[in-house]
A and B are shown apart, each in its own frame.
Chain A
């Protein structure tokens, strides 16, 4: 007989996780594609600690079990529009009602649709584990320890993260940065319920005719989302014009051919999108320059 668990709070969940072989289960939309009869699940959606959306001075803070639908319908926090654009492109309403941001991250698929956005916006993840404290301490908050690390470090490969078996992802933190231009593109074989062939997120900020920030992230073209700070810096510093930047990405990207698309197509789309985005960024920066000149 297999047991599954629905703990009432985070610390109980963490202790169950530490105690034995249970699989964290948020929306289950990735897990249930390949259900295992013998699996024992730790349900997370009922945990109040993981379901909040808030904002601090520096960060948007999104609980790991917040669903796409929650993100799209909540009105409390003014979340970055480019993230919501990505959420709208995930699957179709039934999956958006169940699937969570934390699940998308922990599943670590190269085709996870929110990942390019989270990479581009420099998101971090907070992980929690239960610290067995000295003998007579009860399950208070004090017994949970946290670590915070950049998403880029957290995801290590195809379906590989550096989450320890006794850790839960509790929150996603997105720095509050003002971008003047953002873009999200999901390219799939149909409009709903499709796995991305390519996804792209660009975010840029320009001030007084100067490009001050730039992030370019590509999904489904590598084992993890591809983002390259060297190329970004070279563009920011004016070392690369658009053609040079596109050429640099052409050399960087190593897409593959599989049953969903071809390497050539993926590469061409990425280069077209990055060229298009940089052209828009440049136009915006220039017009900003003109405005300040006047």
Chain B
């Protein structure tokens, strides 16, 4: 660590001006008038009228305005920007701007929302028949909450105008996404727009879509003033107004016959927030993963993303998968308990395996390593033994629990996007001094992609690592090798670099400038994905994980000590062991935050309530002193050195493992939402310890009886669970 990194906030440019944003204070309103204080001549107002071409930001669709024109759709929507040389002065002036609003009725509950942004259906088999023939039918509803990415430095960019072009630089994951948005907003030719990534201290998805928003606002300001304009959000502003993880509601109805799941009927609802941004793709990944890692011969999945007047939700590590994997893992565990079976044994009997059909009628083309991962998890955590022991605890102040989850993460983009939209290109440029520069648009945001790219190229070329140069991407210099998302950078772009390096080695001439270009080829084994029907291979391959959480609950305070945590991962082959371990540990910790403490709620007026690190609680190392992460080798034939996707996966399975452990410790029936806070624990345990709280009897569906068919054998939902203490 040398402290040399310059973040966007550290950069100074001659004549630099600052921009501060005026955010809507209303969740849904018409703007009647904007009343500005008298402004000094050095201060410029920038709003929708200054946008040269399109006042919509291109993300997937083009619906979010750069500056709100007539309507504001959430508390935080940007109405205008004040630009000037002194940030404090701008803040003072901003506080004097008055907006006259005419309020509309806001919608905060996606269940109540009439505006369906996206609506998908898919499935296969004979679902109705499977339910008709089932021994048991279980149905249950799960909820997951918002989550803030909490990256190291807030979002921030600088727009620099010159006579020839507009340059935007700063903290981001996807330089070419920003560039595309700018080209559309400014109406400029592609070569007139340059985007440069600066040192970025983490993104976790939070710098996937949002930088396109801020870039367009700043570029408009830079065009108007003719000066470079910088805006670094302050932490509260960033937390209150930029994208977060989609809250979800998942309803599962599951048929069981002869002790195995025969059908799932799943309904997923995601809260999109005020604009569509990345919701379609988040929802797609979420619903594709909805049946989890289990063979489900008969499947029906319905997914919707609806509009609410809240901050637009976007990308966050896992991208829709943490929501549905949480639901399906809890569902499977609950069914097992109701059938008086050990959850892991119940799950293990119906795992997918190589050659099996995926949820979307694709194939698991490669080795499914879950059995091996489960065995390793057992060795390290002694899950089964503890699970049994903790079932026999007394009703003392402290009670232990252990939980385990099984998940996959689909590596890379969903469906044919790599082939049809991204079309990644990389280059290697050999200089005369025989040093080789990697030219790719993937951003190192703390995940170490510079190191792993360099290792791949150096090894292929059999030259020392320090002969490889990897700079921060600059769209004037690097080809579009796609965004830094979807656990794709190393697997997909790294593979292209390995191929390019192999080619360069063939033609290598010392002392000569040489350039090699490599283009993405869709793997020929993939079953083409039909986006209408959700049929085909959704992902080229899958990474697998087993997560185990052990905890001790204090039943007087509702707080839990995490006494052990184990994450066992198959990421193919780790290119850099330490980097992968860092990802696994950090991701696991983020998953724990999601499980129990990262509570973020809106006030009745639509204002986010936890907008500082004092109130929005992310875990620290002290919360999980014994975190063990372990890797197995399972080489992927089409990844560089056998590598698959790694970045997102560690986050995905933690919440169901945590909640299964908490359920055992609470001994109080099923839990069905995250975050499950200490407040929730005490609520559920009941304020009065002497009061018995009976298990509600609504869980097991009695639909078949109503339909007049032979009644499914209905087991008590709480199968063996004593009532709440």
Chain A residues within 8 Å of B, Cβ to Cβ: 92, 185, 187, 189-195, 197-198, 259-262, 264-265, 267-269, 272-273, 276
Contacts and interface: CB of A to CB of B under 8 A. Distances in A.
A189 B597 contact: yes
Given A185-B557, A265-B558, A265-B678, A190 B597 contact: yes
B668 to A, nearest CB: 15
Contacts of B558: 265, 269
A268 B620 contact: no
A190 B682 contact: no
Nearest to B681: A265
B686 to A, nearest CB: 9
A259 B236 CA distance: 14
B564 interface: no
Query: Which 5 pairs, one residue from A and one from B, show the smallest C-beta to C-beta distance?
Result: A272-B556, A189-B617, A191-B622, A192-B622, A265-B679
Contact of B622 (A190, A195, A265): A190
A268 B687 contact: yes
Interface centre among A194, A195, A267 (most CB of B within 10 A): A194
Interface in B411-436: none
Nearest to B615: A259
B91 to A, nearest CB: 13
B619 interface: yes
Interface in B291-308: none
Given A260-B615, A272-B557, A276-B556, A187 B678 contact: yes
B297 to A, nearest CB: 43
Interface in B315-371: none
B614 A269 contact: no
B682 A269 contact: yes
Nearest to B685: A268
A268 B679 CA distance: 10
B429 to A, nearest CB: 45
A198 B559 CA distance: 12
A80 B408 CA distance: 52
B620 A191 contact: yes
B610 A259 contact: yes
Interface string B616-653: 01111011000000000000000000000000000000
A262 B557 contact: no
A262 B609 CA distance: 13
B620 A193 contact: yes
Given A195-B614, A259-B615, A189 B678 contact: yes
A195 B616 CA distance: 11
Contacts of A273: 556-557
B392 interface: no
A192 B617 CA distance: 11
B397 interface: yes
B683 interface: yes
Interface string B654-672: 0000000000000000000
Interface in B509-566: 556-559
A183 to B, nearest CB: 11
A253 B352 CA distance: 55
Contacts of A272: 556-557, 689
Given A190-B623, A195-B614, A276 B682 contact: no
Contact of B683 (A189, A193, A195, A264): A264
Contacts of B397: 276
Nearest to B689: A272
Given A191-B622, A273-B556, 16 more contacts: A185-B557, A187-B678, A189-B617, A189-B678, A190-B597, A190-B617, A190-B618, A192-B622, A193-B620, A194-B617, A197-B678, A259-B615, A260-B615, A265-B678, A265-B679, A269-B558
Contacts of B620: 92, 190-193
A272 B687 CA distance: 9
A268 B682 contact: yes
Contacts of B678: 187, 189, 197, 265
A246 to B, nearest CB: 10
30 contacts: A92-B620, A187-B557, A187-B559, A189-B599, A189-B617, A189-B677, A190-B597, A190-B619, A191-B620, A191-B622, A191-B623, A192-B620, A192-B622, A192-B623, A198-B557, A259-B609, A259-B610, A261-B679, A264-B679, A264-B687, A265-B558, A265-B678, A265-B679, A268-B682, A268-B687, A269-B557, A269-B558, A269-B682, A273-B556, A276-B556
A193 B597 CA distance: 13
Interface centre among A198, A267, A268 (most CB of B within 10 A): A268
A276 B398 CA distance: 12
Contacts of B614: 195
A259 B614 CA distance: 10
A189 B680 CA distance: 12
Contacts of B677: 189
Contacts of B556: 269, 272-273, 276
A187 B597 CA distance: 13
A262 B679 contact: yes
A78 to B, nearest CB: 28
Interface in B103-147: none
B597 A265 contact: no
A131 to B, nearest CB: 41
Contacts of B559: 187
B682 to A, nearest CB: 5
Contacts of B689: 272
Contacts of A265: 558, 678-679, 682-683
A21 to B, nearest CB: 22
Contacts of A269: 556-558, 682
Nearest to B680: A265
A198 B554 CA distance: 14
Contacts of B679: 261-262, 264-265
A218 B618 CA distance: 26
Contacts of A195: 614
Nearest to A37: B88
A238 B614 CA distance: 42
Contacts of B597: 189-190
A37 to B, nearest CB: 9
Nearest to B687: A268
Interface in B662-717: 677-679, 682-683, 687, 689
A197 B397 CA distance: 20
A246 B614 CA distance: 31
B562 to A, nearest CB: 9
A193 B621 CA distance: 11
Nearest to B624: A191
Contacts of A197: 678
A92 B620 CA distance: 10
B495 to A, nearest CB: 40
Nearest to A198: B557
A187 B679 CA distance: 11
A252 B618 CA distance: 33
Nearest to B559: A187
A190 B678 CA distance: 10
A191 B558 CA distance: 14
Contacts of B623: 190-192
B315 to A, nearest CB: 25
Nearest to B690: A243
B326 to A, nearest CB: 20
Nearest to A191: B622
Contacts of A194: 617
Nearest to A269: B557
A187 B561 CA distance: 12
A224 B641 CA distance: 62
B141 to A, nearest CB: 23
Contacts of A261: 679
A232 B677 CA distance: 32
Contacts of B557: 185, 187, 198, 269, 272-273
B246 to A, nearest CB: 22
Interface centre among B559, B597, B610, B619 (most CB of A within 10 A): B559
A185 B554 CA distance: 12
Contacts of B609: 259
Interface string B371-412: 000000000000000000000000001000000000000000
